[in-house]
Amino acid sequence: MPEKILEVRHLNSYYQDGGISLTGKKERKQVLFDVSFDLHAGEILGLVGASGSGKTTLCRSILGLVSSYEGEILHYSSFPQMVFQDPDSSLNPARTVGWILEEALRARGLPLDENGRLSTMEPSPSQVDMDPRNGIRGGGSPRRKLRRSEREMAVNEVLLQVGLDLECRNRKSRELSGGQKQRVSIASAVITRPALIIADEPVSALDVTIQAQILRLLWDLKTRYKLSYLFISHDLNVIYQICSRVLVMQNGRIVETGDVEEVFRRPRHPYTRALLEDAC
């Protein structure tokens, strides 16, 4: 069994709904209910469910963006990254692609290997110390900030890896196509060499041809950098193509989990069967 990159244990997440109880305390709305799962190193784990099922709240909880929760979120890597459905929501329209990619390196640098040299990836989970951080336990490797020449080399390298010309580094996002923007968003996520990437509907806004190209790119980057993905999609065909296991979420609960082949061929839960029937 591969090492774990993420553990979620009995997670209950809440949002303040703006109301006030009879005791004067702010009311909380529970969104996630007793969610537990593991994500292993090198795995692509799918997450499916209808809008409002809790998928986004789960991702925000994993990234530490939901402060009101109970349970445990255990990270075995540092600085997990996210690729969004709409790259315009994550790309600064006032900055060039080169500046955006360099900014990620300026903020986080790159991990160091056991000899203190710049590494091409995060260490394996067994090499990571576990330290408490804001209630979310996690760890990571030492990192070094890069000199300007090193950042420029790293930007050029990642642009080529995601299939973009080097001239794109001088463009702004409004000068790019939808597929190019998503490639920049992916480049921004992988350039700091995370071990875990959360991909939130990364191909749903693209046409079918570009979808296939982006899925192939994500697979190639997984192989190159030994990445793990939590891959969110409402498109079950996409989940079937790229994921090895799948979680099915309904009303804030995981109602079914298993290997993609098993779940798709012999679904046990009525909600899973309904999703598959709708996809046909």
Distance CA 121, CA 94 (A): 30
Average pLDDT on 52-81 reads 92
> pLDDT at position 8, please?
97
Assign 145 a pLDDT band (cuts: 50, 70, 90): confident
Average pLDDT on 224-247 reads 94
The secondary structure of 18-30 as a DSSP string is: EEE-TTSPEEEEE
- The candidate with the shortest Cα–Cα distance to 214, out of 235, 177, 245, 186, is 186
Residue 93, Cβ density class (10 Å: 0-12 exposed, 13-18 middle, ≥19 buried): exposed
- The candidate with the shortest Cα–Cα distance to 207, out of 239, 173, 244, 178, is 178
Residue-wise pLDDT for 6-32, tens only, equals 999 999 999 877 655 555 567 889 999
Backbone angle region of 134, left / alpha / beta, with phi > 0 → left and psi within -120 to 50 → alpha: left
Distance CA 44, CA 261 (A): 14
Residue 46, Cβ density class (10 Å: 0-12 exposed, 13-18 middle, ≥19 buried): buried
Residue-wise pLDDT for 67-108, tens only, equals 899 999 999 988 899 998 888 888 999 999 999 999 988 887
Is the separation of the CB atoms in 190 and 80 below 8 Å? no
Handedness of CA 221, 223, 225, 229 (dihedral sign): positive
Residue-wise pLDDT for 207-224, tens only, equals 989 999 999 999 999 999
> pLDDT at position 79, please?
86
